[in-house]
Structure 1
Amino acid sequence: MLFDQTPQNGNSDSNANADEYRIQTEPYYRTVHDEANLYEAAYKARMPMMLKGPTGSGKTRFVEYMAWKLQRPLISVACNEDMTASDLVGRYLLDKDGTRWQDGPLTTAARMGAICYLDEIVEARQDTTVVIHPLTDHRRVLPLEKKGELVEAHPDFQIVISYNPGYQNLMKDLKQSTKQRFGALDFDYPDPETETEILAHETGVDRDTAGKLVEIAQRARNLKGHGLDEGISTRLLVYAGQLIHKGVDPRDACSMTLVRPITDDPDMRDTLDSAVSAFFS
């Protein structure tokens, strides 16, 4: 296959306005360690980055915050097992005027110099994720085989992926050939004081209530691997706080957001309900 390296500026839907993808308002993100400075250094080197951590630990919010801080457009893709390579790079479409090419989100990001964030990359098929390989080494190119074009990534382009290392099996893990193309940052749930501060800011509840929610989460996280596949995430705590702030009884709010979503086991639900009752009697 021969690839045309001439910029394709007039015959596709590639000319998306970068401003459409810019984050206009600063997202609230509370730094925990030195992750913001480390990421900024990685971006200056245009290093592909991998964010590793449990569900709801702030990976997506962090990417949004860094895109805002660096003043770069952000294109996010929620990966799933039905996603094909064409969903990422683009495809030909038929309309009343005939056939036209439409860029996918990865191609759009590569052309405009956006940060492309592939969320939960392990959910995608491995034969799909390999399309990112030429963008994650010295070549920084994206072959569009169906179109016969070789897209050279904009100098400002960066690719970021995320996944939960504790929630995959042998059939859902990244290949070493993929992992070793990325720098990596580890994410985890914040320490109790920081998480309390985050909840109070995000939900409007008082610090005492926020502290109680964090204590419940701490107890549940200790049960991971002992009846629970996953602990209570910061995201779920924010949900609980939002309901409480709107006047929902704390026990009902916690049951709805902290207990029912993470387990169907009756005994484990009783254990978690007891923990909730201990703090919100």
Structure 2
Amino acid sequence: MKPALHAVTTPASELPAYVASGHECALFEHAWRHRLPVLLKGPTGCGKTRFVAHMAGRLRLPLHTVACHDDLTAADLTGRYLLRGGDTVWTDGPLTRSVREGGICYLDEVVEARKDVTVVLHPLTDDRRILPLERTGEELAAPASFMLVVSYNPGYQTLLKALKPSTRQRFIAIEFGFLPPEQEVAVVAAESGLTPERVRPLVQLAGRLRALKGHDLEEGVSTRLVVYCATLIAAGVPTAEAVLAGMIEPLTDDADVKAALLDVTRAVIS
């Protein structure tokens, strides 16, 4: 039997830093007030998860986060019967707990989960806002404070892993991308402690590497990786070594591609 998933709850008193690139914060708040589910889409490491944590703190809502994966089933979200001290006891999953208690339930990379997960979500994403629990016979009505948020990376979609139109059209959607260079410099500097002057070449390099997505690379450099790289440099790691470990090695295992990326690195960072 699989262990039950545990939701991660972010204290409402904490407000994770987030730099808005548009009107996404206001749009999210309107969606919550009008009980609309939200779909976040964008490349890996562009700030989707940080945005949700920021908005949960801003709205003073508990946040239940679930990292979706290939083996995630509807039962992992809703709950299951478990043996405890010789008794069989129903244990709520993170989605059920969130519906009972209110707050934001965030399913990160929802397309990675099994197909039965989307079936469970459908009654929560229309005007019914209910969660039927077949195993217990309950039908939970979501409170006004409950909000369902899911995310995915459109670049990873395949014929086998894609959101069906019938599912997509149950959400309002907010698209995320990477910040403009100067905004990204400010974010990376604040997160890593490295000065903006030293961060700027790293952001320029990230932009050059992102331009290679779809050619030599499946995915571009995330802002998260730029922060990791800058953090290493701020800690005293030589720049070349930090770039290799923080921005090159995570992108590819191909020796020829790595060599080409290092050539780009040398051209940008002297």
Q: Give the structure-1-normalised TM-score.
A: 0.91
Q: Deviations over 1:82-119 (max 9, x none)?
A: 01111000001111151111000000000111100000
Q: Aligned pair count?
A: 265
Residue type of the alignment partner of 1:252: E
Question: How far apart in 1 are the matches of 2:157 and 2:238?
Answer: 35
Is the 2:39–2:171 contact (alpha carbons within 8 Å) kept by the matching residues of 1?
A: yes
Structure 2 equivalent of residue 31 of structure 1: 20
Structure 2 equivalent of residue 211 of structure 1: 200
Is the 2:10–2:63 contact (alpha carbons within 8 Å) kept by the matching residues of 1?
A: yes
Is the 1:74–1:117 contact (alpha carbons within 8 Å) kept by the matching residues of 2?
A: yes
Structure 1 equivalent of residue 3 of structure 2: none
Equivalent in 76, 79, 99 of residue 90 of structure 1: 79
**2:144 corresponds to 1:155:** yes
State the Cα distance separating 1:176 from its structure 2 match.
Answer: 1.1
- Aligned positions of 1:124-163 closer than 5 A: 124-163=113-152
Structure 2 equivalent of residue 79 of structure 1: 68
Question: How far apart in 1 are the matches of 2:9 and 2:239?
Answer: 39
**2:50 corresponds to 1:61:** yes
Structure 2 equivalent of residue 11 of structure 1: none
Is the 1:23–1:64 contact (alpha carbons within 8 Å) kept by the matching residues of 2?
A: no
Q: Secondary structure at the match of 1:138?
A: coil
Q: Secondary structure at the match of 1:28?
A: coil
CA RMSD across the alignment: 1.6
Structure 2 equivalent of residue 227 of structure 1: 216
Is the 1:32–1:190 contact (alpha carbons within 8 Å) kept by the matching residues of 2?
A: yes
State the Cα distance separating 1:272 from its structure 2 match.
Answer: 1.3
Q: Which runs of 5+ in 1 are unaligned?
A: 1-15
Q: Give the structure-2-normalised TM-score.
A: 0.95
Structure 1 equivalent of residue 111 of structure 2: 122
Structure 2 equivalent of residue 256 of structure 1: 245
Over 3 Å counting, the alpha-carbon distance change for 1:112 and 1:21 in structure 2 is farther
Equivalent in 161, 167, 170 of residue 178 of structure 1: 167
Q: Which runs of 5+ in 2 are unaligned?
A: 1-5
Question: How far apart in 1 are the matches of 2:238 and 2:268?
Answer: 13
* Greater Cα offset, 178-187 or 266-275: 266-275
State the Cα distance separating 1:263 from its structure 2 match.
Answer: 1.0
Equivalent in 59, 65, 86 of residue 70 of structure 1: 59
Q: Deviations over 1:140-183 (max 9, x none)?
A: 11011011111111121000000001111111100111101000
State the Cα distance separating 1:129 from its structure 2 match.
Answer: 2.0
Q: Secondary structure at the match of 1:83?
A: coil
Question: How far apart in 2 are the matches of 1:58 and 1:240?
Answer: 17
Equivalent in 240, 243, 254 of residue 229 of structure 2: 240
Structure 2 equivalent of residue 43 of structure 1: 32
Residue type of the alignment partner of 1:74: L
State the Cα distance separating 1:280 from its structure 2 match.
Answer: 3.7
Question: How far apart in 1 are the matches of 2:111 and 2:8?
Answer: 29
State the Cα distance separating 1:21 from its structure 2 match.
Answer: 4.3
Question: How far apart in 2 are the matches of 1:269 and 1:208?
Answer: 26
State the Cα distance separating 1:22 from its structure 2 match.
Answer: 2.6
Is the 2:9–2:64 contact (alpha carbons within 8 Å) kept by the matching residues of 1?
A: no
Is the 1:122–1:174 contact (alpha carbons within 8 Å) kept by the matching residues of 2?
A: yes
